Structure 1
């Protein structure tokens, strides 16, 4: 975990100080701390997280064991590739925070809106999901230890969820040092739990028997079920978008930022999700915290539940801290002037409300992922088209920090209207193929997925409108 400690030291150099000041300038080469193996170990530690178990459990609704492996691999491969290209490579090349780099595509004010929306929504949603999972785990632990019969949808889970959010806020209010102190042992513990789950699953059932277990709640059409499982994997990989660009900023080269994502985010997430799918199929239970006692017995199960509860708290801290740093660096003068504890309320306050409705939040995990993918798929497309195809991987870093009126990335009053039109086109395409509210797929969905067409439509729209409108009007600093 030495790399995690180094990461916190480096983060302290770029994170907000208690007085609200901030150094969000590009990192110089000597300030980069991660090579290939260091960044890989960091990604593995982040990816072997409790939400990966939930991802696998969601997949088990639609497919059996063999199809789960294939769909998880395909889904994560697509989204990890796209997220590795954008925002990882641009951030690694220039040492610039990913939300600041968004100014080249969205304009200075437009990027600020994207950053605020994505940071707050992702942080609140994930914090709520993790807090509710922690509540489920502690309820199971209390039931086992004290002979209680507390349910997963009752007031106990909500109360534990609210307490978790408050504790997370208290830790975050003290700054990044507190985050480091409670995060140093999480990854090894989760890896041990993951490996132990894999061993225990196959001591209770054989591979042959497992492959004959049907999906838990499949679509009547097997092709649609398989594509839904792939879409879950794509959306799950896109959920890393708010974090990976800023992590890649600390790498020594674009190559060191790209390939570790495959060893870390891709491979580790796939293994964890596959184990989660196997557990859900073998036990016929989709709640990850319900697996531990049946798999490990009372003692080992209770230890695993306690470890998962602690891991969920640290995951909330990591998500919350990253979002708070992003808001302070790119949210404008208002966020820079707010005290650190108030920033914690802005990020975690909505989560405290969501945990009051545990069933509504937790039972709609697939919809939650869709609401992320419906925006992140077009975002990745715009970033890739803008950076690789229109700017030929060249961004004027100095102009990223200039005032709106004088910067070439000012566009129209700080907004690039074209990028928002492309986002809307991509989001509409997604919704037509997979309704994010009802989660009902269209007749074309089994052949296309929703994220891939959304990505393609947004990218093509952005490319054409930039060439036909933005460049002809001399906006955006493009070389013609």
Structure 2
């Protein structure tokens, strides 16, 4: 090879490496992504969402639904609940982030203020995502030990030390994938998602072929209450909470897509279809085999070889799911902490997130026992957040934001409000969550009569939106504060320069 060709090859390699580094840096930063920095097509984002949706926890949701209702009512509860939760969640998280290219929690500064976003991130979002991360890692531990018991004759219990050891290994693997950014996550999901689709479809066929249809349709719930209407609405509310549970991750993932169509429909459709199918399989298996834990029923369901292979594959999918859901949360921690974590290396920041999930891995029974309570309580706060966000972005601002002011420090930003907090936003979240818990207490299972007709999430989201509109109008809009009355001047993300944003900041 001539010297010129070697130089050209070396230059091309350096350019490609530079572009990769720049893309990775952009995807880990808070500044809006430009068109050339978007890495996912609609198909790729669909696979990401399918991989997220079809993890062992989706089968656990189906099995938990079987505690309350039979197959027909359970399927209806899944469809209704996920449709409600996902519709509101997509509007609150995906649309603004994709349109403006901004990191999800940066886009919340007009709703809650810079400090207000930090308060929510370090409380509601952090606790929610740490809970899901610990659950997913523990499920990996249970899956692997179940396969070991069947294949090698070991006798590891569901709360044994080996479950903790494997859970910690799963956390380490998730950290390794996450530390390399969303590009690595996308690469894994290209292979994981199609495999999960095949496995889920196969399990559904296997369920139909090996179970009498009449037996499935007439199977009794595992642990219902006396009131059938209450059972159904509890199942619906549980699945609404599952739909809302996607909120902390969807916006920051959607901003990596190349167009609004590539973000919105894959976010809703990919999650909805994959989730309902996986949950239906889990529910059917739980009703016919009598156990809601997929790490228990999948071995007798698929046999030693097939069931073991499926469990191991889905266990690995849980690891990639953990990486995907933690990505946006770690971004939020960095961007919401001011200068505290701004210069912390990305791998170290990711490692810090996993400290609490690693501690919870030493108590593998805790998250299983409190699974439904955890989902519904997190849903109380997330539904209220979504209600306030939708009213701010779609009703009061009509989808117009001033991007440079997102990054302008202090009182110079129109989104500074009072001490960096939009108190209307925090008050709305508080009011909505309290209203939710007054309608339905997931710890005591006490409900008001209205719960049997409306669920708790929908009224909570509506009330939070109404409270936000009223307080934001009185405190800010009528006083010409907070950018509510500005002439729309959104700069298309395809033409804005990150340097321009930085210069303005």
TM-score, L = length of structure 1 = 0.91
2:43 & 2:322 partners in 1: Cα distance?
A: 25
Specify whether residues 77 and 178 from structure 1 end up closer, same or farther in structure 2 by C-alpha distance, changes over 3 A only.
Answer: closer
Using the TM superposition, give the Cα deviation of residue 307 of structure 1 relative to its aligned residue in structure 2, in angstroms.
Answer: 1.2
Specify whether residues 290 and 254 from structure 1 end up closer, same or farther in structure 2 by C-alpha distance, changes over 3 A only.
Answer: same
Using the TM superposition, give the Cα deviation of residue 245 of structure 1 relative to its aligned residue in structure 2, in angstroms.
Answer: 0.9
1:351 & 1:262 partners in 2: Cα distance?
A: 28
Q: 1:14 aligns with which of 19, 26, 29?
A: 26
2:119 & 2:452 partners in 1: Cα distance?
A: 34
Using the TM superposition, give the Cα deviation of residue 373 of structure 1 relative to its aligned residue in structure 2, in angstroms.
Answer: 0.7
1:336 & 1:80 partners in 2: Cα distance?
A: 32
Q: Which residue pairs with 1:5 in the alignment?
A: none
- Give 1:298-447 correspondences, 5 Å limit: 298-447=304-453
Using the TM superposition, give the Cα deviation of residue 121 of structure 1 relative to its aligned residue in structure 2, in angstroms.
Answer: 1.9
2:44·2:190 contact (CA, 8 Å) conserved in 1? Answer: no
1:119·1:326 contact (CA, 8 Å) conserved in 2? Answer: no
Using the TM superposition, give the Cα deviation of residue 174 of structure 1 relative to its aligned residue in structure 2, in angstroms.
Answer: 5.7
Using the TM superposition, give the Cα deviation of residue 477 of structure 1 relative to its aligned residue in structure 2, in angstroms.
Answer: 1.1
Using the TM superposition, give the Cα deviation of residue 34 of structure 1 relative to its aligned residue in structure 2, in angstroms.
Answer: 4.2
1:97·1:246 contact (CA, 8 Å) conserved in 2? Answer: yes
Matched, 1:237 2:249: no
2:249·2:327 contact (CA, 8 Å) conserved in 1? Answer: no
- Give 1:237-316 correspondences, 5 Å limit: 237-316=243-322
2:440 & 2:23 partners in 1: Cα distance?
A: 39
Using the TM superposition, give the Cα deviation of residue 117 of structure 1 relative to its aligned residue in structure 2, in angstroms.
Answer: 3.1
1:355 & 1:442 partners in 2: Cα distance?
A: 36
2:337 & 2:470 partners in 1: Cα distance?
A: 30
Using the TM superposition, give the Cα deviation of residue 102 of structure 1 relative to its aligned residue in structure 2, in angstroms.
Answer: 0.3
Using the TM superposition, give the Cα deviation of residue 11 of structure 1 relative to its aligned residue in structure 2, in angstroms.
Answer: 5.9
TM-score, L = length of structure 2 = 0.87
Q: Which residue pairs with 1:77 in the alignment?
A: 83
- Give 1:18-97 correspondences, 5 Å limit: 23-97=29-103
Using the TM superposition, give the Cα deviation of residue 315 of structure 1 relative to its aligned residue in structure 2, in angstroms.
Answer: 1.9
Using the TM superposition, give the Cα deviation of residue 9 of structure 1 relative to its aligned residue in structure 2, in angstroms.
Answer: 8.5
RMSD: 2.2
Q: 1:99 aligns with which of 91, 97, 105?
A: 105
2:295·2:311 contact (CA, 8 Å) conserved in 1? Answer: yes
Using the TM superposition, give the Cα deviation of residue 10 of structure 1 relative to its aligned residue in structure 2, in angstroms.
Answer: 8.8
Q: Which moved more, 1:233-242 or 1:446-455?
A: 446-455
Specify whether residues 280 and 371 from structure 1 end up closer, same or farther in structure 2 by C-alpha distance, changes over 3 A only.
Answer: same
Using the TM superposition, give the Cα deviation of residue 246 of structure 1 relative to its aligned residue in structure 2, in angstroms.
Answer: 1.5
1:83-104 deviation line (CA, Å, top 9, x unaligned): 1211211112211111111001
Using the TM superposition, give the Cα deviation of residue 69 of structure 1 relative to its aligned residue in structure 2, in angstroms.
Answer: 1.1
2:30·2:335 contact (CA, 8 Å) conserved in 1? Answer: yes
Specify whether residues 29 and 227 from structure 1 end up closer, same or farther in structure 2 by C-alpha distance, changes over 3 A only.
Answer: same
1:172 & 1:263 partners in 2: Cα distance?
A: 25
3-state SS of 1:151 partner? coil
Q: Which residue pairs with 1:216 in the alignment?
A: 222
3-state SS of 1:421 partner? helix
Q: Which residue pairs with 2:5 in the alignment?
A: none
3-state SS of 2:242 partner? helix
2:45 & 2:165 partners in 1: Cα distance?
A: 37
1:377·1:452 contact (CA, 8 Å) conserved in 2? Answer: yes
Q: Which residue pairs with 1:109 in the alignment?
A: 115
1:440 & 1:144 partners in 2: Cα distance?
A: 41
1:11 & 1:198 partners in 2: Cα distance?
A: 40
Q: Which moved more, 1:272-281 or 1:411-420?
A: 272-281
1:154 & 1:31 partners in 2: Cα distance?
A: 45
1:123·1:348 contact (CA, 8 Å) conserved in 2? Answer: no
Q: Which moved more, 1:164-173 or 1:183-192?
A: 164-173
3-state SS of 2:411 partner? coil
2:161 & 2:38 partners in 1: Cα distance?
A: 46
Specify whether residues 256 and 172 from structure 1 end up closer, same or farther in structure 2 by C-alpha distance, changes over 3 A only.
Answer: closer
1:123·1:347 contact (CA, 8 Å) conserved in 2? Answer: no
2:148 & 2:106 partners in 1: Cα distance?
A: 46
Q: Which moved more, 1:415-424 or 1:248-257?
A: 248-257
2:178·2:185 contact (CA, 8 Å) conserved in 1? Answer: yes
3-state SS of 2:354 partner? helix
Report how many residues are paired.
467
1:355·1:361 contact (CA, 8 Å) conserved in 2? Answer: no
1:301 & 1:457 partners in 2: Cα distance?
A: 46
Using the TM superposition, give the Cα deviation of residue 457 of structure 1 relative to its aligned residue in structure 2, in angstroms.
Answer: 1.1
Q: Which residue pairs with 2:9 in the alignment?
A: none
**Unpaired runs of at least 5, structure 1:** 1-7, 17-22
Q: Which moved more, 1:94-103 or 1:139-148?
A: 139-148
